[in-house]
Amino acid sequence: AGLSARTRELVERRRRVLGPAYHLMYETPLELVRGEGVHVYDADGARYLDMYNNVASVGHCHPRVVEAVTRQMSLINTHTRYLHDAVIGYAEDLVGTFPDELDTAMFTCTGSEANDLALRIARHATGRQGIIVTESAYHGGTVDMAACSPSMGPTSVRDAPWLRTVPAPDTYRVEGDLGTWFAEHVQTQIDDLAASGIGIAALLIDSIFVSDGILPEPTPFLKPAADLVHAAGGLLIADEVQPGFGRLGASMWGFERHGLMPDIVTMGKPMGNGMPIAGLVMQSSLAEQFGRDLRYFNTFGGNPVTIAAAQAVLDVIRDEDLVANSAAMGGRMLAGLREIAHNADAIGDVRGAGLFVGVEFVGSSGEPDPDTAIRVVNDMRNHGVLISATGLYGNTLKIRPPLSIGSADIDYFLEQFQSVVA
Ligand code: PMP
C-alpha cells in the first residue's frame, strides 16, 4: 500500500531472489543511490539526513577514503602472505590507539569473523569452552556467533550448550548499584558453567550494549563483572564493532569508559568506512600462544585495499578531530532530546555517549512501547531523517549519525523529532 510501482517491483524481485531472511528498513523502503557526508539520496533525488549509519562513520564517500582505495586498487591487491609496508604500518598505528598491553592486531573482513576468531583464541588460551553474553546481544552471523546472538532468535541456548546469558545492565530499569547487580548475574553463570564441567572461556560484551537497548551509564559499571571473570580465569572480549573508533566521544574505545582492560578487543563496521575490514587487537601473549599451535589465514582480511581505507579513516578521525566532535555533537543532541522528552510522556528515557544515543518509548506505567518507537522511526523517515529502533523490547530509538555531523544538522534532526513526537 502506498508504494510506488518501482519500489513495489524491487521489493517483489528482491523477495523472490533473496528470500525472506533479509529484512528491509521502513514501511516505505528506501532505494539509496548516492551518499555525501551526512546525507544520502534516493533514486528520485530526495535527500535524507543519515542519523543511523555508523559504518560511513567519517561521512559517506569521504574523499580521502575514496582516493586511498582507488589509488591502492589500481596498484595491487593481494593477501597477508606477502610483505606490505602499509599493512604493517596500519597495524602499528592501530595498536597505538590502545593501552600498551594491547599490542597485537589480526585482520578479518567482518565483525562476525573477528568475534569468531576471538572465541577460538580465548578457548585455546583457557582450555575451556564457556561463553557468557547478554540476553539480547548481537555478535554476528557465523555458527558460533549466531549462538552468541540471542537477539536474532531463540536458538542459541538449544544449539550451544557452552553458552550462558545474563540480563543486560539496563540503566533505566535496574534499581540499586548497577555494577554489583550485573556482576552478580555474571558470577551466577560462571558458577553454572563450572558446575556443568564446561568452565568459562570468556565474557563477550558489547561495550555500549546496542542490541540490548544502548546502555552507556553509569560507568564504570562493567568493571566489577570484568574482575570476576578474570578471577575465574576467563578472558574479557570487548566487542567494539559498534562503539569503537571514537563513536562514544570520550575516547577511541568504549571499554576505556569503564576503566577496565580487555584481553581481546574486536572491531569492524566503521573501520574502513564501508570497505570490508574488521579485526582484533589483543595482548601479545595470547597471539603468541595461538600462533604457536594454530595457523590463521583470511583471503581478503587485511588486504592492501581495505587497509588503505582503514588508514584513511584513522587519519581523518585524527585530522578532523572527530572524537571531540562526537562528544560535542552528542552532548548537543542529548540536551535537545532531553528538553523534548520533558514534555513528551511517551519518552521514558534519553541516554547516550557521544554520537550513540537511545530514546526509550514507554506506556503510562513505564512498560515498553515498541509500537510508538516504530511509528516514530517511520515518521522520521518520511520527514527525511533516518534512524531505527533496538533493544530487548524494540522500544529504543537507535541514533548514530556519522561522526562528522555539525550543529546545524543536529538542530535539524531535533526540529524534525520534535514535530514527529509532538
Ligand atoms: N558485533 C556487533 C556488536 C555488531 O553490531 C555486529 C554487526 N551488527 C557484529 C558484531 C557483526 O559484524 P558483521 O556484520 O561485520 O559480521
Got the DSSP string for 11-72?
HHHHHHHH-SSS--SSSS---EEEEEBTEEEETT--EEEESS-SSSTT-BT-HHHHHHHHHH
Residue 101: partners with Cβ closer than 8 Å, 6 or more residues away: 261, 283
Q: Given the cut 0.90, state whether the ipTM is greater than it.
A: yes
Mutate to test the pocket of ligand 1, among 112, 205, 253, 300 (most ligand atoms within 8 A of CB): 112
Fold assignment, 64-319: Aspartate Aminotransferase; domain 2 (3.40.640)
Take atom 10 of ligand 1 and give the residue whose Cα is closest: 139
The set of protein residues with a Cβ atom below 6 angstroms from ligand 1 is 110-112, 115, 138-141, 206, 210, 239, 241-242, 268, 278
Contact 115, 145 (CB under 8 A): yes
Question: Domain spans of the chain?
Answer: 31-58+321-421, 64-319
Mutate to test the pocket of ligand 1, among 142, 148, 208, 242 (most ligand atoms within 8 A of CB): 242
pTM of the model: 0.97
Q: What would the CATH number be for the domain defined by 31-58+321-421? A: 3.90.1150.10
Could you tell me the distance, in angstroms and rounded to a whole number, from the CA of residue 112 to the centre of ligand 1?
A: 6
pLDDT in tens, the chain (422 residues): 589 999 999 999 999 999 998 889 999 999 999 999 999 999 999 999 999 999 999 999 999 999 999 999 999 999 889 999 999 999 999 999 999 999 999 999 999 999 999 999 999 999 999 999 999 999 999 999 999 999 987 665 567 999 999 999 998 999 999 999 999 999 999 999 999 999 999 999 999 999 999 999 999 999 999 999 999 999 999 999 999 999 999 899 999 999 999 999 999 999 999 999 999 999 999 999 999 999 999 999 999 999 999 999 999 999 999 999 999 999 999 999 999 999 999 999 999 999 999 999 999 999 999 999 999 999 999 999 999 999 999 999 999 999 999 999 999 999 999 999 98
Nearest-atom index, ligand 1, CA of 269: 15
